[in-house]
Amino acid sequence: MGRPFCCITALYFLLIFNLTVSTEAGIVGVNYGMLGNNLPPPIQVVALLKSRSITRLRLFHPIHDALRALQNSGIEVILGTLNQDLQLLGSDLSFAKNWVNTNVIPYSRTIRFRCISAGNEVIPGDLAAYVFPAMKNLKAALDAAEVAYNIPVTTCASTAILGLSYPPSMGEFSKDVISVMRSIAGFLAANGSPLLVNVYPYFAYVNNQQQIPLSYALFESTKVVVRDGKLKYRNLFDAMTDAVYSALEKVGGGSVPIVVSETGWPSKDENGGVATIGNARTYNKNLIAHVSGASGTPKRPGNSTEAYIFAIFNENLKPPGTEQNFGLFYPNMTDVYPIY
């Protein structure tokens, strides 16, 4: 596909967003998805991120080539576990210790780990019951290793954990996940650790285009779209995030901060004119501006939201269609659209 903007526009955006990102460095991160057979080696990817002043990255599971490339890069890392390891991590402390000794300890002096995430988007589901035991064992394993004892342990959830999400103050966990989420929230609150949540206004919008204005999903609305008591919402990202905050409050997790571990917008395959380069660029540039300001969400004003864009690359081994086109970069490392 071609690029529908001229060089001058590209230069303009490049200048603006280089400024935004480097002055507010460290707030927006990226997800290092690797489901492509044409992606550059990690060492080149780390150089690319550094050249764009991107200082936070999420790695879905330990890839030692990537961890080695990240050593001494100054890039902070969220490290996940494979979902298929959750059961053993939860049931066998020695497995958890071995996981930490293999994947964290060798890098703990050269990489700053933002947190370790037990699994990705397994709640609700067959693996959900293993998440909390896995978190406890990973924490015990990290505590036992002097060099890594202060790395937070958490999990990563999608907004499918919510039974109710609108209006945001009514947000609550669904019946089938509430006991698991109560245990997890208690653990996170006790340890001062964040919950990772994947927040996709794109999917909310495509599934409900009759009711949701596109401008609200793209951070382009100049007026308040949702009034929820005293809280006023101009964008869907904040409304979705606050719905999870409301749900956490209802299970004793009112002090737990949310880190938005994934968000993004696909740039191709249309979906009725929604997944376009223009909309993807608008969403991600507005996201960066939004989380770079110190505004937070209406429920949690004051602290900006830490967020990670999905994803660095378009990934050709994901399911065909929009799923393959969430990248900021093509596999040849040129921008899909200029943003940083």
Q: Which residues are catalytic?
A: 121, 262
Q: According to the binding rule CB under 6 A, does residue 23 interact with ligand NAG?
A: no
Write down the least CB distance from residue 12 to ligand NAG, Å.
Answer: 21
Looking at the Cβ atoms of 71 and 255, the one nearer to ligand NAG is 255
Size of interface with ligand NAG, in residues (CB under 6 A): 6
Among 23, 37, 207, 332, binds ligand NAG (CB under 6 A): 332
Write down the least CB distance from residue 56 to ligand NAG, Å.
Answer: 15
Write down the least CB distance from residue 304 to ligand NAG, Å.
Answer: 9
Calpha distance 9→243 (Å, rounded): 37
Select from 184, 234, 240, 232 the least CA-distant residue to 208: 240
Phi-psi region of 39 (alpha: psi -120 to 50; beta: other; left: phi over 0): beta
- Contact code string over 29-68 relative to ligand NAG, x by CB under 6 A: ----------------------------------------
Looking at the Cβ atoms of 89 and 260, the one nearer to ligand NAG is 260
Task: Report DSSP state, residue 331.
Answer: T
Calpha distance 152→317 (Å, rounded): 31
What letters, b where the CB count within 10 A reaches 16 and e where it falls short, cover 199-215? bbbbbbbbeeeeebebb
Phi-psi region of 309 (alpha: psi -120 to 50; beta: other; left: phi over 0): beta
Q: Following DSSP, what letter does each residue of 309-326 receive, concatenated?
A: ES-SB--TTSPSSGGGG-
Q: According to the binding rule CB under 6 A, does residue 229 interact with ligand NAG?
A: no
Tell me the chain's radius of gyration from C-alpha atoms: 19
Write down the least CB distance from residue 254 to ligand NAG, Å.
Answer: 11
- CA distances (Å), 226 to each of 153, 168, 247, 304, in order? 34, 9, 18, 20
Report the site for ligand NAG in 276-315 (rule: CB under 6 A). Answer: 300, 302-303
**β-pairing verdict for 56-59 and 231-233:** unpaired
Looking at the Cβ atoms of 273 and 302, the one nearer to ligand NAG is 302
Report the site for ligand NAG in 178-197 (rule: CB under 6 A). Answer: none
CA atoms within 13 A of residue 9's CA, in its CB half-sphere:
8
Looking at the Cβ atoms of 263 and 325, the one nearer to ligand NAG is 325
Looking at the Cβ atoms of 31 and 304, the one nearer to ligand NAG is 304
Phi-psi region of 163 (alpha: psi -120 to 50; beta: other; left: phi over 0): alpha
Stretch that binds ligand NAG, among 21-29, 56-64, 130-138, 327-335 (CB under 6 A): 327-335
Residue nearest to ligand NAG according to CB distances in the complex: 302
Write down the least CB distance from residue 306 to ligand NAG, Å.
Answer: 10
Write down the least CB distance from residue 303 to ligand NAG, Å.
Answer: 4
Footprint of ligand NAG (CB under 6 A): 300, 302-303, 330, 332, 334
